[in-house]
Amino acid sequence: MTTRFCLRIVAYSILLTIPLIESFAQVPAQPKSPKRFVIWDERGKFGYMDEAGRVAIKPQFDEAYPFTEGLAAVSIGNKAGFIDFSGRVVVPLQYYTAYPFSDGVAAVSRIEGRGDNRRFPCGYIDHANRFVIQLQKKFSCTEFHEGFAVVEEYDSSLGESYATYMNKQGLTGVAGHLSVGKPFSEGLALIEDFSKWSFVNHDGQTVIDLRPKKRAHPLDDEYEPASSFSEGLAMVGITVGGTAGYSRYAFMNRKGQMVFKLPDNVTAQGDFYDGRAQVYVAKSRRVRVRVEDEVFNEDDDVSARGYIDKMGKLVISARFSRVQDFSEGLAVVRIGHGLPIDDYNITPERWKEEYADNEARHYSCIDRSGSILIEKCGEPLSNDEIAENFQLFGRAFGRGFVEGLFFSKTKVRVAGKLKTVYGYMNRNGKYVWIQPAGRGPKPTG
């Protein structure tokens, strides 16, 4: 092949690509959807702001949920429907309840009957307000994930309810009758069928069953799925020698293979997000304590929380008393140590006496390397606060950054006294919106 012929081929190829390049250049860029965040005014009416804290949809609703799939569920009085980013009503406020869209559908309900005979049949609509699954009273409506929703059905012959999966045709029974069914994640769902935990696929077929086919010894370690899949890994609890509860933890891949096991003193605390998962590292150190003229050796609890990577390596050292999952590359943490792994039952008096001095006075925000990016971050919401006021607001809401803002708690001075309020903090550590000091949020849902 001659050099001249090769040059002709190259030139011809370039000429052919010019119209293609021009055609790509003529395709207009798709506009980004505007960001909207739920806010409320001093009356307790809900509206929406943009990422800079400017009011985008004036407060006027009695209930409001975050935007999902371009629409937000709102209600005035006992009438609920959906609005778009401009605040225009696109699904009339005609339902008793309406919940955020997920997987292309949203759960809605109406009221039937009066007094003791009142019922609340629910069903699912699409974005055009067409019923995908008609109103019914057989089960409560939950969110769809990957084409399925977990519903509970009542078996009159057994006199009890069971969980099962329902598709968008309203057909139930995928994976059979279950005591527990978790939403599908990454193609698999974690279930318990009244006897064992396992993972099933969209056809209801068992894909991962960690029970051994044969046990060499009755006291051998037992493995049990402990969480749904996230970023390709799922937590596994290890029961040692037939003891109750998990003694160790591991993470497995979608083939049911153990990718790594954690050391005995490391407890898995969460799933993987942004390539990081929470862990609790239990350890103590011997210290010398002087009391008057006598010196004693005693154990000092330096147990703390940190993060592992997807190979099980502790990549962010255990130096925090409290941690949240990563979201948008940041995690909310509190520097400290020596706090018990479960502090739910510790009274305020005991906390002040035994643990208050073991942690920093404020939260910080770190990146995936563990470096502090925001020295003083807002305080994350408790599980009770989220359950009471912000159900269905999403996994990271109130716990980390969502679309560039962190909904959190801070303190403001009102009439000379400090008061805890909610607000939205940006990635520069500045609050762009703080709730009116006179009113808290009304519970939603």
Question: What would the DSSP string read from start to end of 409-443?
Answer: EEEEEETTEEEEEEEEEETTS-EEEE--TT--PPP
Write down the pLDDT at residue 28.
59
Q: What is the pLDDT of residues 203-253, one digit of tens each?
A: 999 999 988 766 556 567 788 999 999 999 999 999 876 666 788 999 999
Q: What is the pLDDT of residues 393-429, one digit of tens each?
A: 999 999 999 999 999 999 988 888 889 999 999 999 9
- Measured CA to CA, the distance from residue 153 to residue 168 in angstroms comes to 16
Helix-, strand-, coil-residue percentages of the chain, each rounded to 5: 10, 45, 45
Indicate the average pLDDT of the chain: 87
Q: Buried b vs exposed e over 287-312: b needs ≥16 C-beta within 10 Å?
A: eeeeeeeeeeeeeeebbbbbbbebeb
- Measured CA to CA, the distance from residue 261 to residue 252 in angstroms comes to 9
Which of 43-47, 145-149, 219-223, 287-291 is the least confident region?
287-291
Q: What is the pLDDT of residues 54-63, one digit of tens each?
A: 999 999 999 9
Which of 219-223, 303-307, 383-387, 429-433 is the least confident region?
219-223
The three-class DSSP label of residue 39 is strand
- Measured CA to CA, the distance from residue 388 to residue 378 in angstroms comes to 20
Which of 100-114, 290-304, 332-346 is the least confident region?
290-304
Backbone angles phi and psi of 375, in degrees to 5: -60, -50
Predicted model pTM? 0.86
Three-state secondary structure readout of 327-386: ECCEEEEEEECCCCCCCCCCCHHHHHHHCHHHECCCEEEECCCCCEEEEEECECCCHHHH
In the block, which residue shows the tokens 């937000």?
72
Residue 184 pLDDT greater than 80, yes or no = yes
Write down the pLDDT at residue 141.
94
The count of C-alpha atoms lying within 13 angstroms of the C-alpha of 276, restricted to the half-sphere facing its C-beta, is: 24
- Measured CA to CA, the distance from residue 66 to residue 81 in angstroms comes to 13
